[in-house]
Structure 1
Amino acid sequence: MKPEILFDESHCEQCACGEGLDFSLTFAFQPIVDVSNKTVYAYEALVRGPEGEGAMHILGKVNEKNRYAFDQICRVKAVKLAAKLGMNTRLSINFLPNAVYKAEYCIRTTLAAAKTYNFDTSKIIFELTEGEDLTSVGHLVSILEAYKEMGFSTAIDDFGAGYSRYNIMIASPPDLLKLDMALVRDIHKEPNKQAVVVGIITMMALLGGKIVAEGVETEEEYFWLRSQGIALYQGYLFARPGFECLPEPYYPA
């Protein structure tokens, strides 16, 4: 097990000046829709290269030396671009737990950016990718709890992708749980997947959170998931990510 991350204020200075980040980045936005009222619940900020290069092109450049600056700059640029585009929905931002020394300090640049660009911080969702190689569950829980106390929403992405964090669900249940697209794919004809998803739906209902069905590509997948009461969706069926723009979603009949 890796040791706990210890707070070192010198890293805040590195984040603030972008030390170690020698590449440019921007964002595409993909809507998370609420089909119960046919509105956009949130837009997820998806990192891209300046010419539209995919996320892996950028993430492949992140390493031990620059991940702190990368995480902070992503937050600032996502807020800045969302404000520039006139986003009035929630904004979902992915974060790297290993790039957060102490949530109360590492949130400073995000708060400053929200103030500068007049973006309501209560509309920010911090989204954890479940497969992240975490330093410890305790460290992650401390981050999630701190974010909640500050008024942010939290989400766990790709739930069911193989690194299930049920211990996190027990210690600090997120506001949103995003089903991994591997669970969603062809769910309308796979009873075993259906059984797993029904169990997750029951769990989140008891914990008081919401489920987002992610990676929905066909109406058959959507109609089965909708029949189980899920209202929040993300995927190509509704809209592809829009490079530096807010795409209008499609809503199935």
Structure 2
Amino acid sequence: MGSACSKCREDTALPFEFKMAFQPIVDLSAQRVWGYEALVRGVNGESALSVLNQVNEHIRYQFDQASRVMAIETAGALFAGRDLRLSINFMPNAVYEPSACIQKSLAAAKRAHFPHKNLMFEFTENERMTDPAHVQRIIDAYRKFGFWTALDDFGAGYSGLGLLARWQPDLIKIDMELLRDIHLSRAKQAIVAAIVGIAR
């Protein structure tokens, strides 16, 4: 790991505390919980936004690393012995050198006895990609490690089908706005059916 970036060697404490909540991901066809998405919360249950609003450019990397480690270690304690995926949101703009920056996550998975093949990293279409080629390097590196990748908020962000064609993640999470009241909207039904068809 001699090529590790300087950020990967920093260990600055965050100026605030947070915890994790876990939202189940359900496989409807199998009628079982397939995995959980890790979501940051304030120590007293405050929203993710209240936590993320405290993250600035100077601590973005430390927060991204700390939240990954906490998610993995907490999931390892809660879901020990169960074959479940763990979905973790990450900030592509906080990953400097993919193979180096993932080392703390791998170490956390080893400590928590959480199979790293069950880790899934989500990036959101809502975050403007300042360097698409860098995001491609992250995805390629994560696939080499055996991780799953997911595109979150699909249909709500900046590049839509362009991102999907370029990165072809393992999972697509359709934006809630397209799903809310879908039974009342033929337009939404047609759009979601088309997305499902593309995914297949």
Q: TM-score range by the shorter chain?
A: over 0.9
CA distance in structure 2 between the partners assigned to 1:119 and 1:20 by the alignment? 25
CA distance in structure 1 between the partners assigned to 2:174 and 2:48 by the alignment? 20
Q: Report the 3-state secondary structure (helix = DSSP H, G, I; strand = E; otherwise coil) of the residue aligned with 2:199.
A: helix
Q: Which of residues 5, 9, 13 in structure 2 aligns to 1:13?
A: 9
Q: What is the TM-score of this pair, normalised by structure 2?
A: 0.94
1:37: how far off? 1.5
The reply to whether residue 199 of structure 1 matches residue 180 of structure 2 is no
The reply to whether residue 51 of structure 1 matches residue 44 of structure 2 is yes
Q: Report the 3-state secondary structure (helix = DSSP H, G, I; strand = E; otherwise coil) of the residue aligned with 1:132.
A: coil
Q: Report the 3-state secondary structure (helix = DSSP H, G, I; strand = E; otherwise coil) of the residue aligned with 1:193.
A: helix
Q: Which of residues 58, 65, 68 in structure 2 aligns to 1:65?
A: 58
User: 2:139 corresponds to which residue?
Assistant: 144
Flag the 1:167–1:8 CA change in 2: closer, same or farther, 3 A.
farther
Q: Does the CA-based 8 Å contact 1:145-1:172 persist in structure 2? A: no
The reply to whether residue 122 of structure 1 matches residue 117 of structure 2 is yes
Tell me how many residue pairs correspond in the alignment: 196
Q: Where do 1:43-192 residues align within 5 Å?
A: 43-87=36-80, 88=82, 89-192=84-187
Q: Does the CA-based 8 Å contact 1:29-1:46 persist in structure 2? A: yes
Q: Does the CA-based 8 Å contact 1:20-1:65 persist in structure 2? A: no
CA distance in structure 1 between the partners assigned to 2:48 and 2:126 by the alignment? 16
1:13: how far off? 1.4
1:20: how far off? 5.5
Q: Report the 3-state secondary structure (helix = DSSP H, G, I; strand = E; otherwise coil) of the residue aligned with 1:63.
A: coil
Large movers: runs of 4+ above 4 Å: none
CA distance in structure 2 between the partners assigned to 1:35 and 1:128 by the alignment? 23
Letter in 1 for 2:71: A
Kindly indicate whether structure 1 or structure 2 has the higher relative contact order, using CA contacts under 8 Å at least 6 residues apart: 1
CA distance in structure 1 between the partners assigned to 2:196 and 2:31 by the alignment? 21
| Cα deviations by residue, 1:213-238 (Å, 9 ceiling, x for unpaired) | xxxxxxxxxxxxxxxxxxxxxxxxxx
CA distance in structure 2 between the partners assigned to 1:148 and 1:66 by the alignment? 26
CA distance in structure 1 between the partners assigned to 2:28 and 2:197 by the alignment? 20
Q: What is the TM-score of this pair, normalised by structure 1?
A: 0.75
Gaps of at least 5 residues in structure 1 are 1-6, 206-253
Q: Percent identity?
A: 48
Q: Report the 3-state secondary structure (helix = DSSP H, G, I; strand = E; otherwise coil) of the residue aligned with 2:120.
A: strand
Q: Does the CA-based 8 Å contact 1:42-1:92 persist in structure 2? A: yes
Q: Which of residues 27, 30, 53 in structure 1 aligns to 2:23?
A: 30
Flag the 1:74–1:140 CA change in 2: closer, same or farther, 3 A.
same
User: 1:247 corresponds to which residue?
Assistant: none
RMSD across aligned positions (CA)? 1.4
CA distance in structure 2 between the partners assigned to 1:113 and 1:162 by the alignment? 31
| Cα deviations by residue, 1:101-120 (Å, 9 ceiling, x for unpaired) | 11101100000111111110
Flag the 1:165–1:102 CA change in 2: closer, same or farther, 3 A.
farther
Q: Does the CA-based 8 Å contact 2:127-2:157 persist in structure 1? A: no
